[in-house]
Amino acid sequence: MNTIHSFKVDGIAGGMIDFAAFAGKKILIVNVASECGLTPQYQQLQELYEEFEDKITIVGFPANNFGAQEPGSNQEIQTFCSHNYSVTFPLAAKVDVTTHPVYQWLTKKALNGVQDSEVTWNFQKYALDEQGRLVHVFPPATSTLDDVILDWLNV
């Protein structure tokens, strides 16, 4: 079965994010947006990243798929995240979650081997284990600091 570790994506500031580099860590993939009611979750994501940096990496995927809530350019998004939330976890270049290869893999059981899902709104969270396999999908409204995520992280 294919794992997330086979993917490389463009980083928001250039360069590549190579998921193989995260082997041995849990990964939380989140589609993010700067003008959403859930945007304050950036702060929770950053707190989780800082507290558990040895166990997890978070990769944000800016996307303008829901409510046109991420209209900015990559540079504008990066500036917003840095200035407002001091984001240091990796951010991919802006994507369309309906067509991007990582999201095709995350949402199709035929590719991920676990389950079909649909990205329903900004800040949906995909949890992957240390081997790069999909293990959970958390709804957008689930706080990054919710017990269900902290329990997963501490397993």
DSSP at 64: -
Q: Which residues are catalytic?
A: 36
The two three-digit tokens of residue 120, written as one number: 């329903």
Tell me how far apart the alpha carbons of residues 24 and 112 are, in angstroms, rounded to a whole number. 18
* Structural domains of the chain, count: 1
Q: What is the DSSP letter of 113?
A: S
What pLDDT does residue 147 have? 95
- Give the model confidence (pLDDT) of 44-66 as tens digits: 999 999 999 999 999 999 999 99
For 28, the domain range is 4-153
Mean pLDDT of the chain: 96
Q: Which helix (H) or strand (E) holds 89?
A: none
Could you count the other beta carbons within 10 Å of the beta carbon of residue 10? 14
> How high is the pLDDT of residue 155?
65
SS3 (DSSP) at 39 = coil
Q: What pLDDT is stored for residue 34 in this prediction?
A: 97
pLDDT tens-digit map of 135-147: 999 999 999 999 9
What is the pLDDT, as a whole number, of residue 1? Answer: 53
Instruction: Write down the pLDDT at residue 2.
Output: 81
| Domain CATH for 59 | 3.40.30.10
67-75: average pLDDT: 96
* For helices 41-51 and 74-85, angle between their N-to-C axes, nearest 10 degrees: 70
Could you identify the residue written with the tokens 């590719």?
111
pLDDT in the model for residue 117: 97
Instruction: Calculate mean pLDDT across residues 126-133.
Output: 97
The Cα angle at residue 69 between residues 64 and 74, in degrees rounded to 5: 55
